[in-house]
Structure 1
């Protein structure tokens, strides 16, 4: 599956400063756009990641990566401080989503893109048939590969997998029950918060690659082969928080108020 390049441009890295190492990439985030009613090609932008990424920062200054320069040209990686302490979250604490009303300044406006909520699996606009999700459908996850984040230019990687299970029963995690998908995909540290897309199906005469959700984490299974310390087995299954959770937070009154206070074109 060849992913739309705009979706790769929407992903970025989250980092914190470590003594003697400078700013180190730790996780993934991405930009989404709530479209304006009068022009659905533009709208208000937000930064989205997994809630546990913010909690693990433990109050330290968070930085976001951006490749400065014109899209499609040679661009240089920069770390920008996220100038907000307010992250919108769900009232259900196990919902592993955090959203910031923040985006880079105008001087970086051509260096990143956002995913329209119209392109969410759970958020097609009126008149658009929902994308049919089925087990076995191919997925693409865009995020940080911590062993090769890039120095001159920050480069997210794309991991291909497939839908293993749709939301039926809650998925039990360390945070509590999550409504989401299971996907078969290799996972390593740094992918938390990564956007996950489905496709590439020919549907209604064109290719669609909607956002399925974001990576919560992967399943590890502890199995005792003897009385010794349990061995951890990587199951190859990742948990994806459904895109409906992102939409629910974006539609909460306090988040809606940010769009009413001052419209910002993305």
Structure 2
């Protein structure tokens, strides 16, 4: 195949996925040249793959000749059962939490070494956040991320530390020992805090959402202004997360473990 001499071992499916993987929240639209630069594939190959993906509906070509994710791919992604079911179970409690606090509410799940936002409610007058649905957040610098990291496998924590704990603000925990102690506090209390560790002027509090088998499915949290007392919001966040846990578990009758030990 012309233009592929330098990559004889890359399959067609690998190249297709590489092209799709060049799109993310920070880069929702891309040109042919940008996709070529990001993927490192020959431009002739990228042009052909973009055309095929557009014809199938995975991508949409815009009037300015840029590309974005298409509706067909979005529909497929929405079928992911755990995220869909978790979102459906948590949504009413997220709404209640928003109505009670008028703060930013977010629901995230673990995605390899990051926290992936699967749902959020933004308050107009609340503190601006960097969180977008489909966006990723660092595990060590956010309350929702600390929840996921506290209940993740040892390998996950080791890989995060080995990669280096990036200092996002001057308050970010970047010492492995401090992070380990903070995660132990999360496991002991069932609640996590982040105080200007992700964004100056913003603080957050989060709690885990459990499945019926006791596994942590995600984290539900609030992001607010730094002058707000998080301890006042913590009970409401805990109640919302518990409600989401119970609702999700009630819809998974094949799992066995009760939730009572986490109350």
TM bin (shorter chain): under 0.3
TM-score, normalised with respect to structure 1: 0.25
Task: Point out the structure with max Rg over C-alpha.
Answer: 2
Higher relative contact order (CA 8 A, sep 6+): 1
Structure that is richer in strand per residue: 1
